[in-house]
């Protein structure tokens, strides 16, 4: 019987990936379509992708699929052939990473979820069949020039902080499920204006566009393939980038540079910086922005306290970590209570 789960430690798998000499390509894709038996579909995907050497994170639900993965470059065409052999995914757009060394993932994880994007929508009349109009990079730039256009960023604060479209509105919340009703409330009175929604790869803004239409908005658009596809298109077509800074990504890279603009600041010293890192203290792992100078001074930690713990013997660190629930230590507005932990001198 085939093994459909990983049985090797994550750390060992990571070291194996780092020692690979064969190049890899980081890609992402999603598609909303009905899946009658997500568990069966999950196992089918795992069996075939594991044989192709795929690493990454894939979510499967009754409503569709969402994937961020890396594929050995010499298996890329074989991977596409397999993916396109699945009828609803035939010809699906695949987003290829912009700033990529192929070291984005080191294990294959395919999970069944209730939804591929947790949205909190419980209205049975809501349907993904009625969604906003796709816009490509050229159309996006044109719409941004019109005075009746409002552009909404459907990502989290830590993503928006390092890069966003010019004049984009931020929805100040941790979660997509909270952002949807907030976007509706923020846009009341603008039902007849052009509303463009965007996100990293397209999956969140596509659902958000359907939700806005469901709530009475008329001229709703969403950026096809998200920022990743936009960046590829402007490069290919020689267009001006209206997105400035970095595009945050949810893999080992934590970001891909779109323009040279650095619009964020180091959370420790306040100097221009846009490199996210996780605090090296295993009892913290806070995600925050740190410049090179502070990274050296604090040894990759978010505070002197964490730095002290980081330098303790491993057994002492383990004792201190007992009973600690790190949760999702994301540095964003709703986690403002964590900010006093970061030095500002």
**Residues designated catalytic:** 199
Give the Cα separation of 265 and 54 in Å (integer). Answer: 35
Structure tokens at 202: 């397209």
The separation between CA 258 and the C-alpha centre of its own chain, rounded to angstroms, equals 15
Question: Given the structure tokens 């400035």, which residue do they identify?
Answer: 244
With CA atoms as reference, report the closest residue to 209 among 270, 144, 127.
127
Q: Are 247 and 264 in contact (CB under 8 A)?
A: no
With CA atoms as reference, report the closest residue to 146 among 155, 135, 159.
135
Pairing of strands 64-72, 55-61: antiparallel
**The Cα angle at residue 57 between residues 5 and 264, in degrees rounded to 5:** 150
Q: Are 214 and 131 in contact (CB under 8 A)?
A: no
Structure tokens at 224: 């096809």
Q: Are 71 and 24 in contact (CB under 8 A)?
A: yes
- Phi/psi-derived region of residue 167, left when phi > 0, alpha when psi is between -120 and 50, beta in every other case: left
Q: Are 30 and 116 in contact (CB under 8 A)?
A: yes
The alpha carbon dihedral of 277, 110, 71, 244 has a sign of negative
**Residue 331, exposed/middle/buried by CB under 10 A (0-12, 13-18, 19+)?**
buried
């Amino acid at each position: 019987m085939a093994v459909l789960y990983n049985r090797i430690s994550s750390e060992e798998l990571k070291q194996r990936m780092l020692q690979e000499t064969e190049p890899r390509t980081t890609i992402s894709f999603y598609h909303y379509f009905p899946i009658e038996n997500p568990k069966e579909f999950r196992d089918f995907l795992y069996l075939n992708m594991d044989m192709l050497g795929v690493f990454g994170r894939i979510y499967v639900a009754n409503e569709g699929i969402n994937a961020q993965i890396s594929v050995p470059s010499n298996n890329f065409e074989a991977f596409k052939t397999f993916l396109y052999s699945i009828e609803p995914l035939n010809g699906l757009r695949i987003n290829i990473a912009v700033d990529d060394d192929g070291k984005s993932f080191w294990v294959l994880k395919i999970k069944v979820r209730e939804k591929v994007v947790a949205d909190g929508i419980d209205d049975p009349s809501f349907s993904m069949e009625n969604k906003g109009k796709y816009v490509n990079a050229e159309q996006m730039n044109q719409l941004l020039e019109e005075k009746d256009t409002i552009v909404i960023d459907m990502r989290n604060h830590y993503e928006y902080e390092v890069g966003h479209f010019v004049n984009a509105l931020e929805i100040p919340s941790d979660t997509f499920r909270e952002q949807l009703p907030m976007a509706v409330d923020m846009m009341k009175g603008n039902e007849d204006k052009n509303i463009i929604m965007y996100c990293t790869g397209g999956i969140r803004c596509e659902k958000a566009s359907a939700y806005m239409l469901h709530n009475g908005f008329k001229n709703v658009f969403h950026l096809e393939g998200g920022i990743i596809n936009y960046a590829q298109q402007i490069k290919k077509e020689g267009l001006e980038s209206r997105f400035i800074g970095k595009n945050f990504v949810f893999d080992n890279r934590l970001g891909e540079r779109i323009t040279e603009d650095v619009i964020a600041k180091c959370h420790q010293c306040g100097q221009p910086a846009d490199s996210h890192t996780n605090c090296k203290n295993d009892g913290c792992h806070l995600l925050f922005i740190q410049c090179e100078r502070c990274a050296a001074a604090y040894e990759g930690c978010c505070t002197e306290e964490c730095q002290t713990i980081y330098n303790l013997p491993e057994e002492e660190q383990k004792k201190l970590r007992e009973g600690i629930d790190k949760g999702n230590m994301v540095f964003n507005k709703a986690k403002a209570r964590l900010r006093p932990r970061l030095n500002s001198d």
